[in-house]
Amino acid sequence: MKRNLRITPEGTKDYLFKECTAVNYVCKKITKVFENHQFHQVITPALEYYDLFSSIRAEDMFKTTDNTGNIVVVRPDSTLPIARMVTTRLQNEVFPVRLYYNQAVYRNNPSLTGRSNEIMQLGVELIGSSGKRADLEIITTAVESMQSVCDDFRLEIGHSMLFNALADELDADEETKDIIKTYIENKNYSALNDILDKLPKSETATAIRKLPSLFGGDEVFAQAEKFIKSERALEALAYLKDLYSTLSVLNLGDKLSLDLGLVQRNEYYSGIVFSGYIPGCGDSVISGGRYDKIFNMFDCEMGAAGFAINVNFIAEKSKHSPKKNIAEVLVFAKSDETIMDAITYTSQLVKSGVKAQFSILSDEKEAREFAERLKIKRVEVI
């Protein structure tokens, strides 16, 4: 049998040195924003029961069984586990609670597409409140987080009820509606148009077809009002308009814009949604929104909004070039008798803030060569 000893599973990789530094830099900057805004960290298990993720396609998850035969999955998302945690463990907290996480999610992507199956995510959840204030808080925290790590980005906001209201009113059977929603979520616009072509012509079908092209500045509102007749969709549009004009005081220019066709991949979104992009990255690097509906599955009513940032996407494109961590001093013990002295001396240097390394090599010439190759300037012989 062929043994996979020297390769990692598809969609995963090792992170070495500078790659780690870049990831840590992004994490440090963003968690500072989160913590200063009083979001508190939580960690959820990497394994959860399959039942929790019914809103995520089964084939997208890594599954296994526990020893009683229940199906468990490697966490494909952090929001659902946090919702579970809030309903069961934080009932006596003062709401709204502000939580953040810094943990990877795992998705089983189709093979040979070069996509990461392991994505490091940083995210916040603002739970126990809904309405304009909470939505604004989440959007501005997202903007601040992006600003802390990249000069250039685009954040686009939309409203999940635009598409959902239109899809509900569409003259089609449930299965077709489900397919339409999947195409919209996956941004598979060509397949979307093909399926809409097959349906009887209607105002709703035309509106659904036009929505993805409505992105940009506030001119999109006038364009949308022309062909959206659905009352629920118009309500969502009015709310978005109000929110967008409120946000204009931030003077973000084209860093903040609108995308009326924006729909997030999970069906639990119920209000505003947003996605962010950075140059050189073909996928969105941040996505979030309002998902009050998520608590329905736990039989409780609670407002919730948040977002997740794909840390490794940003770290890969980050212009921050960290300096390599090089020791200033290599401490060499000239004989077996001085080993402990040399180790103690190294510890003293480290305690006083000097980057020092004890030489493991026992030959002085080899130790000096080693120092040269590692660009360590000083060698001290004890």
Partner 1 sequence: MKPLRIALTKGRLEKKTVELFEKLGYNCDEIHNKGRRLILSVGDGQFEVVLAKAADVITYVEHGVCDLGVVGKDTILENGTSFYELLDLGFGKCRFALACRKGHDFYHGYGAKTVATKYPNVTRAFFEGKNMDVRVIKIEGSVELAPLVGLADGIVDIVETGSTLVANNLEVKEYVTNISARLIANTASLKLRKREIEDLVNKMEALTSDDNNSNS
Site of interaction with partner 1 (CB under 8 A): 113-114, 154, 156, 186-191, 193-194, 212, 215-216, 257, 259, 277, 279-284
- Find the shortest distance in angstroms from Cβ 151 to partner 1: 13
- Find the shortest distance in angstroms from Cβ 148 to partner 1: 20
54, two tokens: 């019914």
- Find the shortest distance in angstroms from Cβ 186 to partner 1: 6
Instruction: State the amino acid at position 153 in one-letter form.
Output: F
Across the strands, what pairs with 118? 106
The three-state secondary structure class of 10 is coil
- Residue placing its CB nearer to partner 1 in the complex, 25 or 215: 215
Question: Which are the contacts of 32, defined by CB distance < 8 A and separation ≥ 6?
Answer: 148
- Find the shortest distance in angstroms from Cβ 260 to partner 1: 13
The three-state secondary structure class of 185 is helix
Please answer whether residues 246 and 284 qualify as being in contact, where contact means their C-beta atoms are separated by less than 8 angstroms.
no
- Find the shortest distance in angstroms from Cβ 221 to partner 1: 17
Q: How many CA atoms lie within 13 A of 314 on its CB side?
A: 29
- Find the shortest distance in angstroms from Cβ 285 to partner 1: 9
Read off the DSSP letter of residue 253: G
Q: How many CA atoms lie within 13 A of 60 on its CB side?
A: 16
Residue 2 sits at φ, ψ, to 5 deg, of -75, 130
Across the strands, what pairs with 366? none
CA-only gyration radius of the chain, Å: 26
Question: Cα 360 vs. chain centroid, distance in angstroms?
Answer: 42
- Find the shortest distance in angstroms from Cβ 61 to partner 1: 18
Peptide bond into 96 cis (omega under 30): yes
- Find the shortest distance in angstroms from Cβ 195 to partner 1: 10
For 279-307, letters b (16+ CB in 10 Å) and e give eeeeebbbbbbbbbbbbebeeeebbbbbb
For 237-267, letters b (16+ CB in 10 Å) and e give bebbbebbeebeeeebeebbbbbbbbbbbbb
Read off the DSSP letter of residue 8: P
